[in-house]
């Protein structure tokens, strides 16, 4: 789209900034990056507005447009995919592991903060491989100050692995200079220690990424 394609958003950003909106609020409303907003409004006088409590009576038109587009794309995605058969699920899981799974030999390991991704991985692993449930392990990367028991309960429900099989969590010290928001349930690591299974998974990954497996 280029710079000229963002002229409307730029003018709206300047107007919102003049009203006292923060950079993040403007970025959320216009669905653009905070860095872009910062450049667009750097010469606009800014007086922080008083915090407004409760929901807006009417969402901003840009935000409404964004929500409509998301809903339309979600519906289109459901129409295009439909119900996944076993082959489609197998390929989806292989692609997921190719991007997010561990490539180190010895164990099938997958980490993510998104519960839907972790749930899909666990369903895929159990569907297409012989899994000894007693050897399934889960570890958490969780910032200090967050509720460990609630996080373990959450991820146990997602993975189907009992909390008795959870490993000692890593409790990270929050660094305010890096990020302000934190994943309330942390990052989940699912590990299945089986060299044979990992090699089978990597064989599928290599087949998926080979020139023979990808249509030209």
For the chain, domain boundaries: 4-80, 86-209
CA distances, 38 to each of 10, 26, 63, 176, 198 (Å): 10, 10, 19, 20, 46
Give the strand order in the sheet containing 136-143.
108-112, 187-192, 136-143, 170-172
CB contact at 8 A, 121 and 96: yes
Find all residues with CB under 8 Å of 38, minimum gap 6, and list them: 23
Structurally, what CATH architecture does the domain formed by 86-209 represent?
2-Layer Sandwich (3.30)
For the chain, the average pLDDT equals 86
Question: Would you state the pLDDT for residue 81?
Answer: 85
pTM metric for this prediction: 0.68
User: Residue 201: CA atoms inside 13 Å, Cβ hemisphere, count?
Assistant: 35
pLDDT digits (tens, 9 = 90+) for 141-177: 998 888 999 999 999 999 999 999 999 999 888 765 5
Residue linked to tokens 């290599």: 206
SS3 per-residue string spanning the chain? CCCHHHHHHHHHHHHHHHCCCCHHHHHHHHCCCHHHHHHHCCCCCCCCCCCCCCCCCCCCHHHHHHHHHHHHHHHHHHHHHCCCCHHHHHHHHHHHHHHHECCCCCCEEEEECCHHHHHHHHHHHHHHCCCCHHHEEEEEEEECCCCHHHHHHHHHHHHCCCHHHECCCEEECCCCCCCCCCCCCCEEEEEECCHHHHHHHHHHHHHHHCCCCCCC
b/e code 38-72 from CB counts within 10 Å (16+ = b): eebbeeeeeeeeeeeeeeeeeebebeeebeeeeee
The 10s digit of each residue's pLDDT in 110-153 is: 999 999 999 999 999 999 999 999 999 999 999 888 899 999 99
Lowest mean pLDDT among 64-73, 154-163, 194-203: 64-73
**pLDDT(45) > 60:** yes
Region of poorest pLDDT, from 40-54, 58-72, 130-144? 40-54
Beta carbons of 189 and 141 less than 8 angstroms apart:
yes
């Amino acid at each position: 789209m280029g710079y000229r394609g963002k002229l409307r958003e730029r003018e709206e950003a300047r107007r919102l900034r003049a009203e006292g909106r923060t950079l993040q609020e403007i970025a959320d409303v216009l669905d653009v990056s905070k860095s872009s907003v910062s450049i667009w409004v750097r010469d606009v006088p800014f007086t922080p507005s008083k915090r407004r409590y409760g929901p807006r009576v009417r969402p901003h038109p840009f935000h409404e447009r964004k929500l409509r587009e998301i809903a339309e794309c979600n519906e289109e995605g459901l129409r295009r995919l439909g119900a996944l058969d076993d082959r489609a699920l197998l390929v989806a899981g292989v692609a997921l592991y190719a991007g997010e799974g561990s490539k180190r030999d010895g164990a099938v390991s997958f980490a993510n903060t998104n519960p839907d991704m972790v749930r899909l991985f666990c369903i895929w692993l159990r569907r297409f491989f012989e899994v000894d449930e007693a050897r399934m392990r889960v570890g958490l990367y969780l910032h200090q100050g967050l509720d460990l028991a609630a996080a373990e309960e959450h991820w146990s429900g997602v993975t189907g692995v009992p909390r008795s099989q959870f490993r000692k969590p890593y409790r990270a010290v929050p660094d305010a200079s890096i990020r302000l928001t934190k994943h309330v349930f942390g990052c989940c690591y699912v590990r299945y220690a089986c060299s044979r299974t990992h090699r089978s998974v990597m064989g599928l990954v290599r087949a998926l990424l080979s020139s023979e497996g990808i249509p030209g």
